[in-house]
Amino acid sequence: MEKELRIAIIGCGMISHRHMTIIDNLKKAGHNLKVVAAAEIDKDRLMAWGAKYGLDEKDLYQDFREMLKRDDIDEVEVCVHNNLHTSVSTAVMAAGFPCYCEKPMAASYADARILYDAQKKYGQKLAVQISSIYNPQTRIAKKMIREGQLGKIYHARSVGHRRQGRPGYDMTRFSPDFLSPTIGVHGPLFDLGIYHLAQMLYVLDMPELESVYGMQSCEYWTDPRIDKAVGRTAPVEDLGVGLARFKGGISMDIYEDWAMHMDTVGTSFIAGSLGALKFLDVDAGGGPMAIPGYNGMLPPGRKQPTLEWFGINEDAQLFHTILDCGISSPSGRQEVLMNPEIEMYNDNQLQWYSYLRGILTDETRIDSPYIAMQTALLSEGIVLSNELGRSVTQEEIKHLAKSIAIRDQETPFGVIHYDFDDYSSR
């Protein structure tokens, strides 16, 4: 029997419920996990969360710093908003705890770098939630490219699209913090874009960025009555596009929106001299374990990630093949039966717990902090290019990126001051 892993949660908003669903499903699958404490500045939300998940009031904290004084916590999961990820996660590691941080890693490259460096500074383990890279779709594509089945890779496309889905505006079940230029900071590139960009970069074996040209806009319709109702006071972009150049002769065009008057805008793909892969239904929802009551089968209507393979055979005949990439499909379940260890590569949180237990090492885990930091570098390049009106090099991005993470957070019980390095001042 596994030793019990004792978990603490910071932030009891929407995303924390996904964490709890995954933990519940993993417990049902035999993993020994227990949530022992939670912290949330909103007391009413905290109490409701504790009641929902059966935590005693003594295990609920408005000030997470008080929670971190406990000696019965094995790891902390940070479920706060974008521009608090670096602030809170560095505080967690400084207090002596391993940290699993929600996506995106940060709202700027400089802050992502600060969080990445904090692992070594505090001697703690770190992971970043990127569900799109923990499934057979990504694994099969990476293997095919590594084996040369696509030939020489020369172009990739990263795509994310919603017909009308600005969180906190059109999707009112989401927090209006998404619309805040100080808390959410950025729109789709840093929100959903991490799933698509990180997947492309990881599958391509993390090519080194040379330069990027990009633009952002906030032109999709708004209404003053909605602005007032949701507290929108300043524009946060709803579209980000870019063209990146990588060493080795690979280009990538990038498209990410929260809302667009268009039904479809295409999908992510990777093209090589001998073939190409199209990525359909990329997972941006936490994987199957994030489905309440998951029992190995997806609910009706839920699509599984799929690959389409286009190529040319030895007789110069064109072919098109659909590859089954579903964890819950017959081939996905057979894969786990033949190789039970693969289960650790099919879910973010299970891989994290396996890494904490020492089952996976720095060499055998997927290095999500590095992938997330390099994704932030590319996203930051589009932001800076838009501001400067020209392309920017990797060196310029690293030089110009500034730390914008929250250092003083107003709360109902006073101000929390966060003390962490400022990479942008080096």
The string of DSSP letters for 130-145 reads: -GGGSSHHHHHHHHHH
> Does the fold of domain 133-342 match that of domain 5-131+405-425?
no
**The 3-state secondary structure of 294-335, one letter per residue:** CCCCCCCCCCCCEEEEEEECCCCCEEEEEEECCCCCHHHHHH
Instruction: Kindly state the tokens that stand for 258.
Output: 């929260």
Find all residues with CB under 8 Å of 205, minimum gap 6, and list them.
Answer: 142, 145, 146
Instruction: Kindly state the tokens that stand for 310.
Output: 């286009």
Residue entry with tokens 């404490």: 37
Residue 332 is predicted with a pLDDT of 87
Neighbours of 142 (CB within 10 A): 16
Taking only the tens place, the pLDDT of each residue in 275-304 is 999 999 999 989 999 999 998 888 888 889
The alpha carbon of residue 93 and the mean position of all alpha carbons in its chain are separated, in whole angstroms, by 19
CATH class (in words) of the domain with range 133-342: alpha beta
pLDDT (average), residues 64-84: 97
Would you place residue 326 in the very low, low, confident or very high pLDDT band (cuts 50, 70, 90)? confident
β-partners of residue 243 are: 213, 253
Residue 426 is predicted with a pLDDT of 45
Whether the CB-CB separation of 68 and 92 falls below 8 Å is answered with yes
Choose the weakest-confidence range: 117-121, 194-198, 312-316. 312-316
Q: Is the dihedral of CA 283, 288, 293, 298 positive or negative?
A: positive
Taking only the tens place, the pLDDT of each residue in 370-394 is 999 999 999 999 999 999 999 999 9
- Alpha-helical (H) ranges within 160-222 are 193-203
5-131+405-425, superfamily in CATH?
A: NAD(P)-binding Rossmann-like Domain (3.40.50.720)
Phi, then psi, of 202 in degrees rounded to 5:
-65, -45
Residue 328 is predicted with a pLDDT of 87
Mean per-residue pLDDT over the chain, rounded: 95
What is the rounded CA–CA span in Å between residue 75 and residue 87?
Answer: 17
Domain definitions of the chain by residue range: 5-131+405-425, 133-342
Residue 43 is predicted with a pLDDT of 97
Report the relative pairing of strands 275-280 and 268-272 from DSSP bridges: antiparallel
**The 3-state secondary structure of 52-114, one letter per residue:** HHCCCHHHEECCHHHHCCCCCCCEEEECCCHHHHHHHHHHHHHCCCCEEECCCCCCCHHHHHH
What is the rounded CA–CA span in Å between residue 424 and residue 112?
Answer: 11
What is the rounded CA–CA span in Å between residue 200 and residue 194?
Answer: 10
Would you place residue 11 in the very low, low, confident or very high pLDDT band (cuts 50, 70, 90)? very high
Would you place residue 423 in the very low, low, confident or very high pLDDT band (cuts 50, 70, 90)? low
Find all residues with CB under 8 Å of 226, minimum gap 6, and list them.
Answer: 169, 232
Q: Which helix (H) or strand (E) holds 115?
A: helix 109-122
